[in-house]
Structure 1
Amino acid sequence: MRTRRLTAVLVAVAALVAGCGYAPTPLPAPPTPSAMSGGSTAAPSQAPQCDDALQSYAPQGAVPAPGRMPSGSTMKTIQDRGRLVAGVSADTYLFASRNPLSGRIEGFDIDLVDAVAAAIFGTAKGHVQLRVITAADRLPLLESGEVDVVVRTMTITCDRWTRIAFSGEYYRAGQKLLVKEGSDVTGLADLAGVRVCAPSGTSSLSTLRARAPQAVAVPAANHTGCLALFQQGEVDAITGDDTVLAGLAAQDPYATVVGDAFTAEPYGIGVNADRVDLVRFVNGVLETRRTDGSWTADYDRWLADTLGPAPKPPVLRYGRTR
């Protein structure tokens, strides 16, 4: 745990340095949309249905053996290229952040990228190109075909289904509270008069005000600003997605995440809307990880220390036809 907290501090320092003019080495030119023409490139003739945002495309049979992707498929195009191009974060601690000691981006989301690559190539080593992107980049880069997948704590919504496709749900996040160890606060009902920080302009802040009007809402520029106020004793709690709070708690030995989630934020892997075969393939990989223990092992590795024992992996829902 001490090593993880030291790494978290170094990650924060690295992020500050990156914000002071550091320019990463440019990535190789991404594939053009035409290079991804594996069997499902025709534009949908109708807008995607969205009676259920979590409903995705079912796998068709067993996942093909690594190195033997079906001719004409998107996976075969990726196999022939020699690498899976994935849009990821580099500063979401525990999900996808750059380890300043090794220089590698690592976390729960990165393990998912590696699993998809390994299913195509037999191993992820040497076959993954991580493209660090912002949240605003996610949909445009998928639409243009510049990345094959986006694995970046992205919530599945009907609105996003109008532009891209999603895998089934791979993680259920939700808004929770972070407090000092030993605090009497265990949920929304305990927030009367409690100073709670959330970033300005976020749904976390508006949800706090709507669901716990008895709390004293304290805005900050971002979650890092909230953590500074929390450590200075100027607020009593922080609220946000449990995935974010887990990263904050890992950086503060006296902080803990408490209570049940009071919103639902289902994360999915984003894929270009025309690559339905790749969505089905990814769902096959996710199903394997659900049943062989890989999902739980990754949760235990990255999240259990701050979020507690692993829940059951999300059950993927199917039935989408367009």
Structure 2
Amino acid sequence: MTGPTRRRWLLGAAAGLTAVAVAACGTTSAELPPDARPLPPATTGPAAPTSRPSAAPTAPGTPTPVVPPSGATCADGLPVRSSLAPLGPNPPPGAFRAGSTMKRIVDRGYLNVAIVTDAPPVGSMNWRKLELEGFDVDVAKTIAKALFGSAEAERIHFQPVQTNQRNALIMDDADPAHPDADTATDSRSGIDIVVATYTITCQRKEKILFSGAYFESGFQLLVPKDAGFDSIDDFVGFTVCSTDGSTSIEKLRQAAAWAGRRTAAAAPSGSPARGLTVIGRPRAADCLVAVQQGDADAVATDNVILAGMARQDEYLRVESEAFNEVFGTELETLAEPYGVALWRSGDQAQDDEFVRFVNGALRDWMAGGGWADSYDHWFRDALGPRSTPLADDPSWPLDTTPR
């Protein structure tokens, strides 16, 4: 199928969806993006409880193994997913040391959280209930409950954030040389934590405090059904969209360069160069709109976000292995381990204490069944059964610092 033919097919398939999206814009407030809308109601019955890991080979209905936590090591010699472990049980809510970050937040009366609001089922606005919902929202509520004893609305202030704004919200200095820095954003923004499909990387950890990985996502592709797109090779001459400031757009650029070199090597001598066009948008929802309006042919980002898009648009599907050939044996490159990014005070002891506290809250959430309940509600239908990061590796959060 040729490029113009595919593009016309996309436009025809999306006509009704675009009209729905435009109509929905009239119900939004100026504070939140117009595409921050909930998923449609699920058509299946309640999911069975999430399965636990098994030493046996994976079979249908059992959890799919995630990327091994030790898959990548940073310049400091520590695994990319490593974080400071709690030294014991967390203090009771409200009972925090004077001068600690937790005490400062409790005295203020609420937790300031930056979060994505346009990426169901991770984070989006439920306009019927007039509240944010999603897996990352549940993560934020877990931390608020550990601080205050409850996660009532008055205990959490959510701030919508775009992907390329996340780092600057909690970096102690907005370094213009850092690839994700946004110097237009005040780095002393009042944000306590960022829970926004935030991939832990070695480069980011040089500037930013992260919790342990609370979820393992993966870099995949959203494509039109029955359009003949199966691998990145098929997109030479076409356009793929990803979010500005994300790890996904960097991986997409690597894949585009690989596909271009491969095409050039196979082309007759003297043929014009053909490649894959990469475009960036501020939000994942903008990439979905770009496909629906014919400005792009596919979306490349985290599989949990793509699963939400596929549920909103029946003409699209997730291609899970589109990038496997590009990265070959380096499939760890496709991993997107999500962590909570924390405000850095500049006092290392205080910051370490805050990281340990957040990891303690996440540990208790995973051990107590809350993680499994949230996963089953938001992801299980699309991604299948999965066990918690703590069940996958009891040494979570991979604290290797000397005691």
Please show how residues 33-48 of structure 1 align to structure 2 within 5 Å.
none
Instruction: Give the Cα–Cα distance (whole angstroms) in 2 for the partners of residues 74 and 229 of structure 1.
Output: 41
Aligned-partner residue type, residue 356 of structure 2: R
**2:184 is equivalent to residue 150 of structure 1:** no
Contact 1:304 1:310 in 2 (8 A): yes
1:288 aligns with 2:364: yes
Paired residues in the alignment total: 290
Find 2:143's aligned residue among 116, 119, 129: 116
- Superposition pairs for residues 187-226 of structure 1, below 5 Å? 191=234, 195=238, 197-199=240-242, 202-213=249-260, 217-220=276-279, 222=281, 224=285, 226=287
Q: Distance in 2 between matches of 1:299 and 1:10?
A: 31
| Cα shift readout 1:16-70 (whole Å, capped 9, x = no counterpart) | 8749999xxxxxxxxxxxxxxxxxxxxxxxxx94643221111110122223334
On the 8 A contact 2:198/2:340 being kept in 1, the answer is: yes
Q: 2: CA distance between counterparts of 1:50 and 1:135?
A: 28
1:251 aligns with 312
Partner of 1:87: 114
C-alpha distance in structure 1 between counterparts of 2:399 and 2:85, whole Å: 5
1:11 touches 1:100 (CA, 8 Å); kept in 2?
Answer: no
What corresponds to 1:166 in structure 2? 210
Instruction: Tell me the equivalent position of 2:161.
Output: 133
2:213–2:338: 8 Å Cα contact kept in structure 1?
A: yes
Note the 1:225-244 alignment, pairs <5 A: 226-228=287-289, 230-231=291-292, 237-244=298-305
Instruction: Give the equivalent residue in structure 2 for 1:34.
Output: none
* Deviates most, 279-288 or 136-145: 136-145
Bigger Cα Rg: 2
The CA deviation at 1:227 is: 3.5
Give the direction of change, closer, same or farther, for the CA distance of 1:196–1:134 in structure 2 (3 Å limit).
closer
Which residue of structure 2 lines up, in the alignment, with residue 61 of structure 1? 88
Alpha carbons 1:170, 1:286 under 8 Å: kept: yes
What is the CA distance between 1:284 and its match in structure 2?
A: 1.0
- Give the corresponding residue for 2:343: 272
* Uncovered stretches (5+) of structure 1, i.e. residues with no partner: 23-47
- Partner of 2:255: helix, strand, or coil? helix
Counterpart Cα distance in 2 of 1:10 and 1:192: 29
Distance 1:15 1:176, change over 3 A: farther
Aligned-partner Cα distance in 1 for 2:386–2:78: 26
Q: Is the 8 A contact 1:90 1:105 kept in 2?
A: yes
> What is the aligned partner in structure 2 of residue 319 from structure 1?
400
Question: What is the DSSP-based 3-state SS (H/G/I as helix, E as strand, rest coil) of the residue aligned with 1:317?
Answer: coil
Q: Are 2:117 and 2:125, in contact at CA under 8 Å, matched by a contact in 1?
A: yes
Percent identity between the two aligned chains: 32
**Quick one: structure 1 residues 119 and 229, their matched pair in 2 at CA, closer, same or farther if it must change by over 3 Å?**
closer
Secondary structure at the residue paired with 1:250? Answer: helix
Structure 2 residue runs without a partner (length 5+): 1-16, 35-74, 173-187, 264-273, 325-333
Measure, in 2, the Cα distance between the counterparts of 1:12 and 1:302: 22
CA distance in 2, matches of 1:12, 1:208: 35
Q: TM-score, normalised to structure 2's length? A: 0.61
1:168 aligns to what SS in structure 2?
A: coil
Equivalents in 1 of 2:399, 2:130: separation in Å?
A: 38
1:81 positional shift: 2.0
- Alignment CA distance shift 1:246-1:21 (3 Å): closer
Which amino acid is 2:362 matched to?
Answer: L
Aligned-residue RMSD, C-alpha:
3.8
Q: Deviations over 1:190-222 (max 9, x none)?
A: 848795622487324313314545697344453
- In 2, the alpha carbon distance for the partners of 1:266 and 1:145 equals 25
For residues 148 and 236 of structure 1, do their structure 2 counterparts lie closer, same or farther at Cα, with a shift above 3 Å needed?
closer
Structure 1 segments (4+ residues) deviating >6 Å: 14-17, 19-22, 232-236
Distance (Å, rounded) in 1 between the aligned partners of 2:166 and 2:297: 34
- Contact 2:113/2:193, CA 8 A, preserved across alignment: yes
Residues 200 and 59 of structure 1, relative CA distance in 2, 3 Å threshold: closer
2:7 match: none
Q: Does 1:13 align with 2:36?
A: no
Report SS of the residue matched to 2:96: coil
Structure 1 residue 320, shift from structure 2 partner = 4.1
Going from structure 1 to structure 2, the CA distance change for 1:318 and 1:199 (only over 3 Å counts) comes to same
Q: Secondary structure at the match of 2:214?
A: strand
For the 8 Å contact 2:32–2:160, the answer to whether it is kept is no
Partners of 1:296 and 1:310 within 8 A in 2: no
Equivalent position SS for 2:252: helix
Which of 373, 380, 400 is the aligned partner of 1:304?
380
Q: Contact conserved, 1:91 with 1:97, CA < 8 A, in 2?
A: yes
Residues 242 and 299, structure 2, Cα contact 8 Å, conserved in 1: no
Bigger mean CA offset, 72-81 vs 151-160: 72-81
